[in-house]
Structure 1
C-alpha cells in the first residue's frame, strides 16, 4: 500500500490481520524487502508493517538532504498514516538508528523497541568516507566492501538470494542520495538518551557481524538500562534477516507479544 510520510510518498508491506502492531525499519542501501524472509513468522498473531525509508525503494525521490530528524518524523508519520497510536518498532542498522531517534522524540508512541545490529553513535570518519567515494567514483567501488560488511564469506561465495538482492539494490542506488544519507547518519544523536526507556527493549546482535560486534550491541543494551534485553543470533552477519531468517524470526517472535488463539 502507498501512504504519505511527512513530505513524500512511500510504500508499506502489510502482513497479518490481528494482534499487536509491529513496524519494521530497514537498513541503509536496501528497502522494505529486506524483511520479507521473516514476515510470515512475525505475522502469526501480529499485524506487521514494513516501509521504505526516505531515499530508498519507493521513497527514493524523497527530498534531500537526508537528516536523522526527518527520518524520525517520517517514522511517526507512518504510524499516523497507519492509524497506530503505538507500535512495537524494530530497526536494523540505520533502521535502528532511526527508531532510536524517534524513540527519543516520542517515547509514548513505542510499545517496545528492538535494535538489530544498530549503533547509538556515529563513526564520522567512516561515514564521510563512504559519502565521498560515492560522489567521486559512483556506487561501483562501494559494492564489494559493503557486501563484505553485510554478509559472511560463505554467503558471498555462494551468491545467495540475499546477496543478489543486496547487490542489485546497491548497483541501482543514486550516488548523491547515498552520500546525503551517510552524512545525515553522521548526525545521529541518541547516545545515553534512552537510559531507562519506559517500555521493553531488545538489542539483537549477530555473532558474525563485521560492522557492529556482539560486545557493541551488549553495551547499547547496557546504556538503555535494566529494561533492555540482549540476545545473540548465532551465525548472523550484519544484515541478519537475509542470512539467518529463521533464527532472527524466532528471536523477534520470542520477544514480541502476540494474539494467541484459545481453543
Structure 2
C-alpha cells in the first residue's frame, strides 16, 4: 500500500502541474471566429495534446517538462457538455481547429480514449498532422461487468441520475488507478468534478463508443505506447490498435506502466517520444 507521504507528494505534483497550466492559459481565436482556452510551452516543432477534460490535462506535464526545450507543446480546454452529446467527431473538428490556429502542421500527443479523437482527426485531414502518439489506446472499448453494464446503459438511455455517483467513482478508480496513482487517489479526485455522471455520459463515454478503427485507413506516422500494468486497456487491445493504425505505427510496451502512463513511468515514455520524433527528423537541427 502507498504511504500517506507518497500520496501527499503525488497530490503536490499534480496541483503544481495544474497551476502551471492555469498560469499559462490564455484565450485564443480559432479560424471560425470562436474562442478557446489554451496554453503554450517551449519552442520548436508543435505538439498539440489532445484533451479529455481540462481537469486531466496535467497528465501531459511530465512530457512537457522533459521535451519543451525541443518542442512547443499546446494544451487546450475542450468544449464539453453535461447535457448534450459531444462525440469523437465533434472533438476531432476542435482538435484540427486548434492545429490550424497555432499555425503549424503539428504532431499530436493523445492519452487514453482521447486517442480516438486523434485517430479520427488523422483520418479526416492527414495533411494537417505530422504524427500521432497514442498513449494507452484500445482497439475497442469492451469492459467486464459491472463497468460494461453501466457504460452500455449510460450510452443508450438517460439513466445517469439512477446511478449513485459513488458507484461511478469506484469503477473509475479501479480502472484508472494503479500502484502510483492509486484507486484511493483517483476516487478522491473524481469527487471534485461537478456532475460527474452527466459529464461522463455526454463528453467522455462517446470517445469510447465512437471509437471504431478499421485497417488500412490511417496513414500518418504513429506510435502506441502502453503500460503492461494498465487496468483499463489490455496489452492485447493496444497491440491490436497499433496494427489497425497501419505499418507506420510502432508499439512500445512500458514495464510497470499504469493507465495514467506519464505519471506512472515518465522516463521510459519520454525516451520513446524522443526516439519516435527523432526518426521523423524532429526537432530540426
For Structure 1 versus Structure 2, the TM-score category normalised by the shorter chain is 0.7 to 0.9
In 2, the alpha carbon distance for the partners of 1:118 and 1:93 equals: 5
User: Pick from 108, 133, 136: which aligns with 1:114?
Assistant: 133
In 2, the alpha carbon distance for the partners of 1:136 and 1:7 equals: 39
Partner of 1:222: 243
User: Is 1:32 the counterpart of 2:52 in the alignment?
Assistant: no
Larger C-alpha radius of gyration, 1 or 2?
Answer: 2
In 2, the alpha carbon distance for the partners of 1:49 and 1:36 equals: 11
Residue pairs, 1:132-143, within 5 angstroms: 134-137=160-163, 139-143=165-169
Residue pairs, 1:13-28, within 5 angstroms: 13-17=39-43, 19-27=44-52
In 2, the alpha carbon distance for the partners of 1:81 and 1:181 equals: 23
TM-score (norm 2): 0.75
Partner of 1:64: 84
Partner of 1:247: 268
Partner of 2:198: 176
Partner of 2:283: 259
Partner of 1:75: 95
In 2, the alpha carbon distance for the partners of 1:88 and 1:206 equals: 22
Residue pairs, 1:151-170, within 5 angstroms: 151-153=177-179, 155-156=181-182, 163=185, 167-170=188-191
Tell me the matched-pair count: 248
Is 2:52–2:204's contact at 8 Å kept on the other side of the alignment?
Answer: no
Partner of 2:27: 2
TM-score (norm 1): 0.81
Partner of 1:105: 124
In 2, the alpha carbon distance for the partners of 1:54 and 1:185 equals: 14
Partner of 2:151: 127
User: Deviation string for 1:189-231 (max 9, x for gaps)?
Assistant: 54215x2633311011110001111121111111222211110
SS of equivalent to 1:202? strand
Partner of 2:257: 236
Q: 1:125 to 1:89 in 2, by over 3 A?
A: farther
Q: 1:65 to 1:209 in 2, by over 3 A?
A: same
SS of equivalent to 2:256? coil
Is 1:25–1:96's contact at 8 Å kept on the other side of the alignment?
Answer: yes
Partner of 1:203: 224
Partner of 1:145: 171
Q: Shift of residue 31 of structure 1?
A: 2.9
Q: Shift of residue 105 of structure 1?
A: 1.1
Q: Shift of residue 121 of structure 1?
A: 3.3
